[in-house]
């Protein structure tokens, strides 16, 4: 298989003024530093004279540092502005596409032993499937396609790695061939991506609209794959809150300070709100039944996207959300398999949300027993 190509970054000869701008920046930085030292010198001498013997030397220097912190931040923001406006680049971790679209470099990287990691992670999914099957629990894998795959047309001068283009479909085929139900979220996102943003432009995550598409596709696939699966029905509905500005996590890699208005425009976000229709005569002493368990990452855990709510609405049933924002999909599943929740409240269905960009990363998972 052909190795991953690095992002198609334009050569330096296409940027004839880059050397001049770099020289200008270095001169400005040197002058700023010299001015800072010149300004601080008298204060430093006073500190050494007045505080060396009274125990407040550290406190005095902290005050001096805070006073000159603005100089450092201004220099950082100036370089961020220059880097963005001239070179269309940010800090390591972000790729700047076109029309205000930002992408994480995680979707382009090819870690060591990438193919080995992919095979091991695929084997782990199969082990989880077999383990849950022995407990009479159905598993549905919700494979979230990479944002750069869905919006490859917005990558601008970059291109999606060739070796990854077939990975999504190959994994689905491999899992389906081994009896695992995998929802195809890619096709519905590609079909609707031009009607509305299924991913946030300045964030690594999907938009609430993309989360809703995925949830309804998952519910549809569940009914088709498990026709005998009976879930207790309740009425849930999701309403969208007031629209507000949202600065995605990728904007942190483009430090512009007071020049933020020059940078990529923040997203607008309506936070989904879930509501449940009360039954006419609820039983106060009835045991709560949670027939569906959601296992996943920040795509499922963060209420800003509303994925759990949309799942409840589309399934029409209660859901136990065990997703974790600070962990990868395989680590979260390992944690769930060892949790008492699986013993005390075994579900009928587990929905396992797995972002595509995690599949070729190494995980050291412990062996678990059914």
Q: How confident is the model over 85-89, as a mean pLDDT?
A: 77
On the question of pLDDT at 128 being above 70, the answer is: yes
Catalytic residue list contains 18: no
Q: What is the pLDDT of residue 257?
A: 76
The one catalytic residue among 205, 207, 267, 314:
205
The residue ranges of every structural domain in the chain are 12-89, 104-358
Catalytic residue list contains 169: no
* 80 — pLDDT class (breaks 50, 70, 90): low
The one catalytic residue among 207, 298, 300, 314:
298
**315 burial via Cβ count (<10 Å: 0-12, 13-18, 19+):** buried
* 345 — pLDDT class (breaks 50, 70, 90): confident
Q: What percent of the chain has pLDDT over 70?
A: 72
On the question of pLDDT at 94 being above 60, the answer is: yes
The one catalytic residue among 197, 203, 267, 324:
203
At 8-60, the pLDDT tens digits run: 433 333 344 445 555 555 555 555 554 444 444 454 444 444 444 444 444 55
CB within 8 A of 260, min separation 6: which ones?
none
CB within 8 A of 73, min separation 6: which ones?
257
Catalytic residue list contains 159: no
CB 305 within 8 A of CB 208: yes
- Would you list the DSSP string of 87-112? H---STTEEE-STT-EEEGGGT---T
Among the ranges given (122-126, 279-283, 351-355), the one the predictor scored with the smallest mean pLDDT: 279-283
Q: What is the pLDDT of residue 88?
A: 83
CB neighbours of residue 256 within 10 Å: 20
Q: What is the pLDDT of residue 66?
A: 52
Q: How many CA atoms lie within 13 A of 132 on its CB side?
A: 28
At 218-264, the pLDDT tens digits run: 999 999 999 999 999 999 999 999 999 999 999 999 988 777 788 89
Helix 57-87 to helix 18-51 angle (10° resolution) is: 170
CB within 8 A of 281, min separation 6: which ones?
none
CB 205 within 8 A of CB 251: no
């Amino acid at each position: 298989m052909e190795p991953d190509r690095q992002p198609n970054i334009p050569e330096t000869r296409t940027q004839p003024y880059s050397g001049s701008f770099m020289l200008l920046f270095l001169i400005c930085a040197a002058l700023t530093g010299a001015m800072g030292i010149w300004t601080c010198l008298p204060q430093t001498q006073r500190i050494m004279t007045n505080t060396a013997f009274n125990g407040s030397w550290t406190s005095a220097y902290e005050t001096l540092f805070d006073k000159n912190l603005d100089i450092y931040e201004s220099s950082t923001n100036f370089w961020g502005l220059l880097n963005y406006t001239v070179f269309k680049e940010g800090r390591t971790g972000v790729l700047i596409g076109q029309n205000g679209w930002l992408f994480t470099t995680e979707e382009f990287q090819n870690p060591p032993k990438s193919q080995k990691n992919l095979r091991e992670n695929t084997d782990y999914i199969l082990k989880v499937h077999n383990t849950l099957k022995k407990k009479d629990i159905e598993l549905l894998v919700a494979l979230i396609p990479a944002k750069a795959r869905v919006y490859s047309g917005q990558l601008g001068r970059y291109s999606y790695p060739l070796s990854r283009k077939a990975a999504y479909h190959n994994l689905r085929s491999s899992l389906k061939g081994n009896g695992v139900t995998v929802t195809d979220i890619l096709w519905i996102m590609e079909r609707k991506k031009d009607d509305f943003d299924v991913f946030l432009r300045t964030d690594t995550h999907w938009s609430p609209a993309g989360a809703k598409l995925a949830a309804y596709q998952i519910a549809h696939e569940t009914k088709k794959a498990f026709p005998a699966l009976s879930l207790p029905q309740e009425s849930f509905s999701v309403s969208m809150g007031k629209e507000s500005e949202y600065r995605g996590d990728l904007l942190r890699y483009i430090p512009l300070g007071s020049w933020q208005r020059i940078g990529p425009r923040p997203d607008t976000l309506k936070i989904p709100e879930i509501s449940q229709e009360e039954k006419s005569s609820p039983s106060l002493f009835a045991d709560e039944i949670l027939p569906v368990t959601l296992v996943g990452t920040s795509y499922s855990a963060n209420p800003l996207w509303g994925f759990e709510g949309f799942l409840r609405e589309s399934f029409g049933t209660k859901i136990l959300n065990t997703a974790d924002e600070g962990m990868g999909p395989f680590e979260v599943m390992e944690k769930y398999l060892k949790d008492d929740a699986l013993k005390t409240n075994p579900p009928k269905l587990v929905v396992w949300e797995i972002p595509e960009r995690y599949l070729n990363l190494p995980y050291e998972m412990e062996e678990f027993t059914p």
